[in-house]
Structure 1
Amino acid sequence: MIAKVITGKSFGGCVRYLLEKEKAKVIDGVGVRDYDVKSIIADLNAQRKLRPTLGNAVGHTVLSWSKEDSSKLTEEKMAAHAREYMERMGIRDTQYLTVLHMDRQHPHVHIVYNRVDNSGKTIDNYNHWKKSYKVCREMTERHGYHIAKGKDRVNRQSLRGNDKLRYEIYDNLKAALQKAASWKQLEDHLSAKGIAIHYKYRSGTNEVQGILFEKDSVKFKGSEIDRSFSYGNINSRLNENLQTIENTPTLAGQIREILSWGQQEEHQPTRSTTEHHGQGLFDILLDGVQIYNDPNPVGDAEKRRRKRKKQEVEQSRGIGR
C-alpha cells in the first residue's frame, strides 16, 4: 500500500476529475452529498469559506495497493483503510469523499478532503509526505498486504514531487555505491547529481549515528530512501568496496608478474642478481602506478563541520581573552 499526497486550490477541478472518470464510484463520504457533482463541490466550498485566506484548501490522496492484493480487497475494506489512513494522518473532523477508480490494473482509491475542518481550523500538512510513507508501510505490514521486492520495478515516469526526488536519490545512490570506496568518493559522485549528504552525530560527540540526503532543498533520512541505505549499511558497503580494490592486483603488479615470467623463460638474470646496479626503468615507472585510497572515513562534509567547530572554539577563546 502506498499513498500519493497532493494539495490543490480547486475543489471543482478535483471532484470533476474523480467522478467523471469511467466506472468511478463513491464508496464513502462524510459532510457532502455524494449523489451530484455540483452539490459536492458546493458543500466543500461552503465550508472552505470559514478560512478564506487558505489558498490550498484541497486535500487529495491516492491510496494504491499491489495488484497481488486484488483478491483480498473489497469496497468495504478499501473504505475502512481510507478512514484508518486519515485518522492516523490527523485528518479528522472534516468533509471527505472516497472514490474508487478502476482504470488501472492495481486497486486504488482517491480521497478528497477539506483542509478547513468543521470548526474552521486548518488541517496541518507539514511533513505530510514523510508521515504518509511511514503510515502506509505500517498499515501494509499490519494488514498483510504485498510489499514490493524492489524499487527497480517502479515506473519513474509517473512519479511527481517528493516521490520523484526520493527515487532520483535512490537510483543515483545505488549507482554510486557500485564505485565509491570512501565517503569522500560517495559525496563527489552524488554532488555531481545535485545531491548532498548530511551526517547526524550523537549528542556531544563526533560519532556518526545517522545520515540525511538532500536534493532540491528536500531532505530524507537514509532509511526513507531505502532500508538498506542507513549509515551503518552504507559504511559497510564502502569498506567492502575498499577491500575489493586493495585485494585486486594493481596494473603495476600485473605487468611486473608478466615481465618476470618472460625473464624466467628466457633465463635472464633475476632482479636479485642485478639489484646492485640500481632500480630499472620499468620499476621506476611502475612504482608510480598506484590506486589512491582515502584513509578518511568521511568526506568533505565532515571536514567542513570540523573546520567550522574549530573556528567557533577559537573565536570563543578570543572573546574570553
Structure 2
Amino acid sequence: MIGKILKSGSFGSKVDYVTREKHDKKIFTPDTWKILGNRGLMGEKRNQIIASFEAQAMQNRRISNPAGHITLSFSADDKSKLSDEKMLKIALDYIRMMGLDRTQFLIVRHYETDKPHCHIVFNMVGDNGKRMESGRNRYKNKKVCEALTKRYRLALPKQEAPDLEKLHGLERAKAEIKIAATEALRNSRDWQTFAALLAKKNIHIIPKYRRGTQEMQGVSFQLGDYKVKGSDVGEAFKFRSLDRYFSQANRHSEPRKATATHSAAQKSGTSSVSDEAVKAVKATAATAANLAADIGEGVGQFIGGLFQPGPAYDPEEARLAWELSHPKKKKPKRGIKR
C-alpha cells in the first residue's frame, strides 16, 4: 500500500477528477468509479460536495490551499481481497491514523485499472476551523502506510515502471523524463554529470531564475516539445532537493574543499552549489553532445563507499532521510506589542 499526497488545487477540480466529471464519458462510465464513504458533506451530488467543502473552508481564510488530496494505491496481487468494504475500512483507518477524522472527507474508488486504488479528498480546514497539520505530512503518511500494510497483510509496494505504450503526449514525456532522471541521479554526484546523462537521452534542464537576478531557483526538464517542472516529475527532482543532494555528495567526496566552499558561501550569502548548477545547465545546453560523450561508466560512486548507486537506490527515500535528520525548527511566536 502506498499513499501519495498530491499537490493542491480547488475543491471543484479535485471532486471533478475523482468523480470523472471532466473525463470522456464513453471510457469512464458510471461503473468505473464509486463513492465509498464521506464525512461532513451535505450529499453525494457534485454541487453539494463542492459547496460543503467550500463552506467549511470559509471558516479559516488564512489557509490559501484548503483542498487536500491523497491517493491510496495497492498491489495488483491484493485485488482479489480488496472488496469495497475492505478498501473503505483501510481508508478510514488511514484517515484516523493520519488525524484527518476531524474534518470533511470524500472517499472514491476507481476501477478502470488492474491496480486497486482510491482517492481521498479532504478539507485542510478542520471542524474547529484550524489547519489540519497532518494533511500534508509525508513522513507520517509513509509510517501509516507501512503500519496498515502490515496490519492487513497487504503486498509490499513495488517500484513498477509505467507502461509507456499506454501513455501519450505530455503524460508520456513526463514518464520518460522521470525514468531517465531517476537513472541519471543514481549515477551522478554533481550537476554536470546529471545534466550530461540527461542530454544523452535528449532531455535538457531549463533553469528558472529569480526575477532580475542570475540566482537559480527552479528547474524544468524539456523533452522534444514538452517541458515539465521538476516538482511535477517528483519531489526528488525539485531544484532545492537536487541542489541539497549534490551538496551533500560533494561534502562526502571532498570534505576539505566542501567545508571551505560552504564557509565562503555562508559569508557571501550565496549557494556555491547553485552556481555549479547554473554552470552545468548552461554548459550542457551549449555542448550537450560533447559532455555526454565524456561521461564514463564509473560515475556516481562516492569516496569511501558512502554512496553505492544501484537498483535499490530511491531518490525519494534519500530526500526523506535528509528531512528526518534535519528537522525544521519552529520559529518562536512573538507576542503583540502594545
Q: TM-score range by the shorter chain?
A: 0.5 to 0.7
1:121 is paired with a residue whose SS is coil
Aligned amino acid, residue 15 of structure 1:
V
- Describe the superposition over 1:155-182 as per-residue Cα deviations: whole angstroms up to 9, x where unpaired: 5876999x99987664224445xxxxxx
* Residues 309, 96 of structure 1: alpha-carbon distance in 2 compared, 3 angstrom cutoff: same
Distance 1:3 1:132 in 2: 6
Equivalent positions of 1:136-285 (< 5 A) are 136-149=145-158, 151=159, 153-154=161-162, 170-176=182-188, 189-190=193-194, 215-218=238-241
* Residues 189, 90 of structure 1: alpha-carbon distance in 2 compared, 3 angstrom cutoff: farther
Q: Please name the residue that 1:247 is paired with.
A: none
Q: Please name the residue that 1:58 is paired with.
A: 67
* Residues 55, 170 of structure 1: alpha-carbon distance in 2 compared, 3 angstrom cutoff: same
* Residues 53, 173 of structure 1: alpha-carbon distance in 2 compared, 3 angstrom cutoff: closer
1:59 is paired with a residue whose SS is strand
Q: Please name the residue that 2:34 is paired with.
A: 25
Distance 1:126 1:216 in 2: 24
- Describe the superposition over 1:281-308 as per-residue Cα deviations: whole angstroms up to 9, x where unpaired: xxxxxxxxxxxxxxx9942366312665
Distance 2:178 2:136 in 1: 14
2:133 is paired with a residue whose SS is coil
1:90 aligns with 2:99: yes
Aligned amino acid, residue 241 of structure 2:
V
Q: Please name the residue that 2:254 is paired with.
A: 300
Distance 1:167 1:173 in 2: 10
Which of the numbers 71, 82, 85 marks the counterpart of 1:76? 85
Contact kept? 1:100, 1:109, Cα under 8 Å: yes
Contact kept? 2:98, 2:134, Cα under 8 Å: no
Distance 1:164 1:53 in 2: 38
TM-score scaled to structure 2, two decimals?
Answer: 0.51
Q: Please name the residue that 2:112 is paired with.
A: 103
Give the 4+ runs in structure 1 shifted more than 3 A. Answer: 154-161, 163-170, 173-176, 185-194, 219-222, 306-312
1:133 is displaced (CA, Å) by 3.1
1:186 is displaced (CA, Å) by 7.1
* Residues 166, 218 of structure 1: alpha-carbon distance in 2 compared, 3 angstrom cutoff: farther
Q: Please name the residue that 2:13 is paired with.
A: 13
Contact kept? 1:9, 1:55, Cα under 8 Å: no
Structure 1 regions of 5+ residues with no counterpart? Answer: 177-184, 195-212, 223-230, 235-295, 313-321
Structure 2 regions of 5+ residues with no counterpart? Answer: 22-27, 199-204, 206-235, 267-338
* Residues 26, 90 of structure 1: alpha-carbon distance in 2 compared, 3 angstrom cutoff: same
Which of the numbers 53, 59, 64 marks the counterpart of 1:44? 53
Distance 1:73 1:309 in 2: 55
Q: Please name the residue that 1:2 is paired with.
A: 2
1:128 is displaced (CA, Å) by 2.5
Amino-acid identity (%): 28
* Residues 214, 113 of structure 1: alpha-carbon distance in 2 compared, 3 angstrom cutoff: closer
1:304 is paired with a residue whose SS is helix
* Residues 311, 297 of structure 1: alpha-carbon distance in 2 compared, 3 angstrom cutoff: closer
Greater shift after overlay, 8-17 or 90-99?
Answer: 8-17
Distance 1:220 1:95 in 2: 37
Distance 1:79 1:220 in 2: 40
Q: Provide the aligned C-alpha RMSD in A.
A: 4.0
Distance 1:40 1:138 in 2: 31
1:147 is paired with a residue whose SS is coil
Which of the numbers 112, 121, 135 marks the counterpart of 2:121? 112
- Describe the superposition over 1:242-296 as per-residue Cα deviations: whole angstroms up to 9, x where unpaired: xxxxxxxxxxxxxxxxxxxxxxxxxxxxxxxxxxxxxxxxxxxxxxxxxxxxxx9
Contact kept? 2:4, 2:72, Cα under 8 Å: yes
Q: Please name the residue that 2:230 is paired with.
A: none
Which structure's CA Rg is the greater one? 1
Which of the numbers 97, 108, 123 marks the counterpart of 2:132? 123
Aligned amino acid, residue 12 of structure 1:
G
Distance 1:220 1:77 in 2: 42
1:8 is paired with a residue whose SS is coil
